[in-house]
Structure 1
Amino acid sequence: METATQPEDEARVAGVRARLADLVEADPSPAELALMARLLNSFAAKAPASADELARLLRQGDAGLVREQAHSLKGSAANIGATDLATLCARIEDQARAGIVADPETTTAHLELEVGGAVRAVLILAGEYA
């Protein structure tokens, strides 16, 4: 099993673990374990492409599309307990709702950092649920 090697990863793993504990009982059935593994692996597979699309839209500068994409990624992140990513997306969404498109380069760099951390955390836990 992979282990978290950075303090940020340990905090991210703890956040995802806490969210998953809200979703399943203390002694999950094999079906619940399989469902959690699928949920985590799906997030890990889809989140980077979603973040790439958000970065593209930030560079394009369309606040409406940025808001929609940030909202979508925020929901996915919140569903699995990736709170730092969800918080960043909420901030991007709020700014876009106000007609402001954040600096694409700075925001994209922060987005890549958060998505990478969330995916690492999710993959660490996916192994536990597999």
Structure 2
Amino acid sequence: METATQPEDLARVAGVRARLADLVEPKPSPAELALVLRLLRSFAAKAPLAADELVRLLHEGDPAPVREHAHSLKGSAANIGADGLAAICSRVEDAARAGAVTDPGPTGDRLRAETDGALRAVRALTVEFERTS
């Protein structure tokens, strides 16, 4: 089982937990627990592929698909409370909207690192919510 124990991971867990608290009651009903688990599992399944695709597109250098994919991943990250990942995607999207593609090397490294951190937080909370369901 993957745990989130580093300070930055604990902050990520807190961010995701805060977002989930906006969606469900303090003592979630079975239906709310099912919703939360579906959101967490969906993000964990889709975010790595979305991040890899965005990095690939950064290397290709065409702003239009970069903007589209950055926007999509930003929305998924924001929806789950992965604020660091959403912020990176927002910067990439803004640059692409202006017709520029950010440097794929450093941007890709930051994107992958933040995606990995968000996934650790999501997985830790998935385990927590599974125990209460």
Q: 1:27 Cα shift?
A: 1.4
What amino acid sits opposite 1:87 in the alignment? A
Task: Give the equivalent residue in structure 2 for 1:106.
Answer: 106
Tell me the distance in 2 between the aligned counterparts of 1:5 and 1:16. Answer: 15
Does residue 53 of structure 1 match 2:53? yes
* Aligned-partner Cα distance in 2 for 1:98–1:73: 18
The structural deviation recorded for 1:30 is 1.1
Give the aligned partner of residue 32 of structure 1.
Answer: 32
For 2:62, the equivalent position in structure 1 comes to: 62
Distance apart, 1:3 and its partner CA? 3.6
- Report the CA distance between 1:31 and its aligned residue: 1.4
Deviating above 4 A after TM superposition, structure 1's stretches of 4 or more consecutive aligned residues are none
What is the distance in 2 between the residues matched to 1:94 and 1:35?
A: 31
Cα distance in 2 between the residues matched to 1:46 and 1:27: 28
Percent identity of paired positions between Structure 1 and Structure 2: 69
- The answer for the alignment partner of 1:6 in structure 2 is 6
| TM norm structure 2 | 0.95
Alpha-carbon distance, 1:2 to partner: 5.1
Structure 1 residues not aligned, in runs of 5+: none
Q: Distance in 2 between matches of 1:2 and 1:75?
A: 25
Q: 1:128 to 1:71 in 2, by over 3 A?
A: same
Task: Tell me if structure 1 keeps the 8 A contact 2:61–2:101.
Answer: yes
In structure 2, C-alpha distance between the alignment counterparts of 1:38 and 1:116, rounded to whole Å: 19
Shift of 1:127: 1.0
2:123 maps to a residue whose letter is L
Q: Is the 8 A contact 2:44 2:122 kept in 1?
A: yes
Unmatched segments (≥5 aa) in structure 2: none
**1:115 aligned partner:** 115
Give the paired residue count: 130
TM-score (norm 1): 0.97
